[in-house]
């Protein structure tokens, strides 16, 4: 076969392969991500456009995702972050039988309590912050609900500062707004993504760990996150992360199984990468003239 005909054949084969690749990538990208969480929202933060959603308008219990709002209003209050706050018997009573490593009488700064509430989901830390809020717990909860209205969280309601109450509800649409607001606060970004932290409790240094394994995953660039879990809410996860060069908000509610919410986040990331690949393949594929 002469050189011109061979070259033409190679170009034809390459063109056919490119078209097939683009077609396969496009087909994969059109499929919905295989998400097991009951309610889902994936938002392109830069354009405020929904990439994928399921039951995004339904108000559901939000568990410890509540603590993002608790942190927002505590920081909004301007109270000293270096002031000491003591864990009281009232904090223990208000959080019921929830596990805590903060014994009654523990004294930590407001800054330390904020970090533990966000990274390790410490319930007594969040409760103590709300109780020590200027005006007390009632004023704190009122501020949380007012802030929700200001953010346009139309279906949100907060009944406690920890998320242990099933009366704390919001829709995935609401929670996306909360994540965006939390992401604008440098301290919330830092505290929620700290992988581990030690504080002195009595005579001992006690180490706490983040409840979200994605903050330690080198493949992820998470800027803010919060996990949640109570029986009424299932396992939940909200986060903002840089995915394929764009800021994406992911909300996952009522995931079944201990690891499903994290697996769902990873499936969404892979699906988004597939969409980008499909777009690139389609752009590079030969087109009829």
| Average pLDDT per 10 consecutive residues for the chain, totaling 289 residues | 49 46 46 90 95 97 98 98 97 90 96 98 98 98 98 98 98 98 98 97 94 96 98 97 94 93 96 73 53
> Catalytic: 121?
yes
pLDDT of residue 100: 92
pLDDT of residue 42: 97
Give the SS3 label for residue 13. helix
DSSP 288: -
What is the C-alpha separation between 159 and 169, in angstroms, rounded? 9
Q: How far is CA 112 from CA 53, 226, 257, in A?
A: 36, 17, 31
Catalytic residue among 37, 100, 120, 121: 121
What's the half-sphere exposure (Cβ side, CA atoms, 13 Å) at 193? 23
> Catalytic: 196?
no
Q: Which of 175, 161, 186 is nearest to 111 (CA)?
A: 186
What is the C-alpha separation between 101 and 103, in angstroms, rounded? 6
> Catalytic: 226?
no
Residue 107's DSSP bridge partners are 86
Element (H, E) at 114: helix 110-119
Q: Which CATH superfamily is domain 3-284 in?
A: DD-peptidase/beta-lactamase superfamily (3.40.710.10)
pLDDT of residue 202: 87
What is the C-alpha separation between 217 and 222, in angstroms, rounded? 9
pLDDT of residue 153: 98
Domain extents in the chain: 3-284
pLDDT of residue 285: 54
Give the SS3 label for residue 3. helix
């Amino acid at each position: 076969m002469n050189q011109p005909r061979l070259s033409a054949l190679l170009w034809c084969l390459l063109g056919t392969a490119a078209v097939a690749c683009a077609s396969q990538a496009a087909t994969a990208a059109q499929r919905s991500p295989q998400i097991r969480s009951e309610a889902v929202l994936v938002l392109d933060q830069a354009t405020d456009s929904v990439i994928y959603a399921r039951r995004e308008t339904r108000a559901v219990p939000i568990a410890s995702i509540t603590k993002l709002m608790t942190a927002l209003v505590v920081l909004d209050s301007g109270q000293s972050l270096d002031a000491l706050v003591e864990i009281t018997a009232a904090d223990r009573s208000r959080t019921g039988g929830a596990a805590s490593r903060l014994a009654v009488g523990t004294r930590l700064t407001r800054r330390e309590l904020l970090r533990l509430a966000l990274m390790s989901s410490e319930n007594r830390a969040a409760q103590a912050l709300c109780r020590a809020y200027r005006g007390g717990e009632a004023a704190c909860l009122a501020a949380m609900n007012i802030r929700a209205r200001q953010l346009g969280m139309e279906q949100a309601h907060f009944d406690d500062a920890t998320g242990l109450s099933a009366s704390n509800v919001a829709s995935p649409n609401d929670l996306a707004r909360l994540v965006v607001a939390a992401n604008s606060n440098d301290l919330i970004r830092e505290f929620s993504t700290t992988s581990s932290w030690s504080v002195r409790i009595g005579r001992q240094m006690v180490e706490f760990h983040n409840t979200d394994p994605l903050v330690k995953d080198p493949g992820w660039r998470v800027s803010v996150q919060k996990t949640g879990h109570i029986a009424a809410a299932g396992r939940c996860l909200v986060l903002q992360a840089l995915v394929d060069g764009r800021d994406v908000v992911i909300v996952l509610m009522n995931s079944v199984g201990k690891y499903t919410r994290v697996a769902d986040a990873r499936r969404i990331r892979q699906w988004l990468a597939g969409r980008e690949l499909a777009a690139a393949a389609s752009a590079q594929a030969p087109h009829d003239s």
